[in-house]
Structure formats: C-alpha cells, structure tokens
Amino acid sequence: MAIDFVAATDTLFEKTGPEDLAGELGCSAQAIRQARMDAAKGGHRSPPPGWEAAAAKLARRKAEQFRRLAEKLVSA
C-alpha cells in the first residue's frame, strides 16, 4: 500500500499536545500546562492523578501510528 509524500509527512509531523493528555485524563489542558510549569512558579500545580497511565497510552498510540507509517513507506 503506497503512501504519498503529503500523507506521510502529515502523519510524521502530527503533534500531540496538552489537549490530548487532558482528554485522556478528563481534565483541562490548562491543568496539564500548569503541571508542566517550573515548580517555583506561582501557577504550578501537581500533575493530575493517573497521568503516567494516560501518557503511556498516548505514547503507545503514537508509536503504533509511526509503526504503520514505516510499514507503508517500506512497502512503497
């Protein structure tokens, strides 16, 4: 199954952001942004509970997308 340049690079350059992790956790993207802030900053918050499992799920999903892309590129 061939894949064209635009489709391949769209997949390759697709970003994962705070909104994606927030969606997995059922919290706001702002909560994720605040948890990523330097702990010395006033707006810093603790990471939401369950963030490790949610991040692992997103990582596995992204890895699977890249695996499928690589298979399509090799078979092209």
- Model confidence over 7-34: pLDDT tens digits? 999 999 999 999 999 999 999 999 999 9
Q: What range defines the domain where residue 40 resides?
A: 17-75
Distance CA 62, CA 66 (A): 6
Q: Has residue 10 been placed in a domain?
A: no
Per the listing, tokens 């695996």 go with 67
Indicate the number of domains in the chain: 1
Q: Has residue 37 been placed in a domain?
A: yes
Q: Has residue 55 been placed in a domain?
A: yes
Predicted model pTM: 0.86
Q: Has residue 4 been placed in a domain?
A: no
Q: Which residues contact 28 (CB under 8 A, 6 or more apart)?
A: 22
Q: Has residue 8 been placed in a domain?
A: no
Tally of CB atoms within 10 A around 47: 17
- Model confidence over 59-75: pLDDT tens digits? 999 999 999 999 999 98
CA atoms in the 13 A half-sphere facing the CB of 47? 12
